[in-house]
């Protein structure tokens, strides 16, 4: 299983990266053909990320896009994806999974400027995320965990085949969330925790974002294999998030950068 950072800037696109977008790929059998192929799922598709996705894969080959929640910095480029699938090179292809919290298609219509008659059924196969209800896309098993954010949202645990063939690998993406039991449990024991750090410890508002130290505490509590910090605002020095996490987490630690690949 591979995790490609497509975009990672917090709350918007930034000077060094598009907004949140993470490509998860794994090789596995395709029931339609019996042959092994690469399966591709994107977690979130924030502003600027669809264009960047082209530098990593042909977006016509996507199998699913999963939205952690419906804030525009996580779903804005769904409109680019839609145009690509209805009128562009992916026209006529099998609808891909579009997952998100209850009402996600209404949010897509709002951004699109479409009315209720727009179903997107030619492009997307809707999957409403429910905490604890796992589902599969090819060789990947995805399990949502309830987040603590200003709108309904989920962290996503993904299990897939290890690149070296030695059993399963796991990762957890927090989406946007503050520290809470459901997210800590969902992340427990994963090989890689991709955690937002939208706030620093200077931010006192709760129920919105993690800070570096709160992300570090989730990593330490869950004894994860590696912590990767992301969703850092473009005006925040990423070194602040790194140092905050280091106060509570002494394991492998990285700050996400657009274009970086993690192999599990």
Site residues for Zn ion, window 94-113 (CB under 5 A)? none
Distance CA 1, CA 194 (A): 14
Minimum distance between the CB of residue 140 and Zn ion, rounded to whole angstroms?
Answer: 23
Cβ contacts of residue 182 below 8 Å, gap of 6+? Answer: 131, 145, 146, 147, 148, 155
Q: Is 71 in the site for Zn ion (CB under 5 A)?
A: yes
The smaller minimum CB distance to Zn ion, of residues 44 and 123, is found at 44
The smaller minimum CB distance to Zn ion, of residues 148 and 249, is found at 148
Minimum distance between the CB of residue 262 and Zn ion, rounded to whole angstroms?
Answer: 20
The smaller minimum CB distance to Zn ion, of residues 63 and 176, is found at 176
Minimum distance between the CB of residue 13 and Zn ion, rounded to whole angstroms?
Answer: 12
Q: Is 73 in the site for Zn ion (CB under 5 A)?
A: yes
Residue 37, burial from CB neighbour count under 10 angstroms (0-12, 13-18, 19+): middle
The smaller minimum CB distance to Zn ion, of residues 178 and 191, is found at 178
Minimum distance between the CB of residue 197 and Zn ion, rounded to whole angstroms?
Answer: 11
Q: Is 178 in the site for Zn ion (CB under 5 A)?
A: no
E-strand ranges in the chain read 2-7, 21-29, 36-43, 64-66, 96-100, 124-128, 135-137, 140-146, 154-161, 168-173, 192-196, 227-230, 253-255, 261-263
Q: Are strands 21-29 and 36-43 parallel, antiparallel or unpaired?
A: antiparallel
Cβ contacts of residue 70 below 8 Å, gap of 6+? Answer: 100, 101, 103, 104, 107, 151, 152, 153
> Which of 25-33, 51-59, 168-176, 234-242 is the region at the interface with Zn ion (rule: CB under 5 A)?
168-176
- Residues in contact with Zn ion, counted by CB under 5 A, come to a total of 3
Secondary structure letter of residue 35 according to DSSP:
S
> Which of 25-33, 65-73, 95-103, 186-194 is the region at the interface with Zn ion (rule: CB under 5 A)?
65-73
Minimum distance between the CB of residue 9 and Zn ion, rounded to whole angstroms?
Answer: 9
Secondary structure letter of residue 214 according to DSSP:
H
Kindly tell me which residue out of 44, 77, 176, 178 binds Zn ion, with binding defined by CB under 5 A. 176
Q: Is 77 in the site for Zn ion (CB under 5 A)?
A: no
Q: Is 82 in the site for Zn ion (CB under 5 A)?
A: no
Distance CA 193, CA 170 (A): 9
Q: Which residues of the shown chain bind Zn ion in the complex (CB under 5 A)?
A: 71, 73, 176
């Amino acid at each position: 299983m591979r995790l490609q950072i497509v975009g990672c800037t917090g709350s918007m696109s930034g000077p060094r990266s598009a907004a949140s977008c993470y490509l998860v790929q794994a090789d596995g059998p395709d029931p339609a053909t019996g042959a092994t192929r690469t399966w591709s799922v994107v977690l979130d598709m924030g502003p600027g990320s669809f264009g960047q996705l082209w530098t990593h894969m042909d977006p016509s080959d996507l199998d699913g896009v999963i939205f952690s929640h419906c804030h525009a910095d996580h779903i804005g480029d769904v409109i680019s994806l839609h145009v690509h699938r209805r009128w562009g090179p992916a026209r006529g292809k099998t609808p891909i999974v579009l997952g998100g919290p209850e009402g996600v298609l209404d949010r897509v219509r709002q951004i699109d400027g479409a009315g209720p008659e727009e179903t997107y059924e030619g492009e997307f196969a809707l999957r409403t995320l429910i905490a604890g209800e796992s589902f599969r896309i090819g060789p990947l098993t995805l399990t949502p965990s309830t987040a603590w954010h200003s709108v309904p949202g989920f962290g996503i645990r993904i299990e897939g085949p290890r690149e070296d063939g030695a059993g399963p690998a796991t990762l957890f993406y927090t989406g946007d969330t503050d520290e809470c039991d459901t997210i800590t449990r969902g992340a427990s024991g994963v090989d890689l925790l991709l955690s937002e750090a939208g706030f620093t410890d200077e931010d006192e508002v709760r129920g919105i974002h993690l800070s570096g130290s709160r992300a570090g505490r989730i990593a330490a509590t869950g004894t994860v294999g590696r912590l990767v910090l992301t969703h850092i605002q473009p005006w925040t020095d990423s070194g602040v998030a790194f140092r905050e996490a280091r106060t509570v987490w002494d394991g492998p630690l990285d700050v996400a950068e657009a274009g970086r690949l993690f192999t599990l």
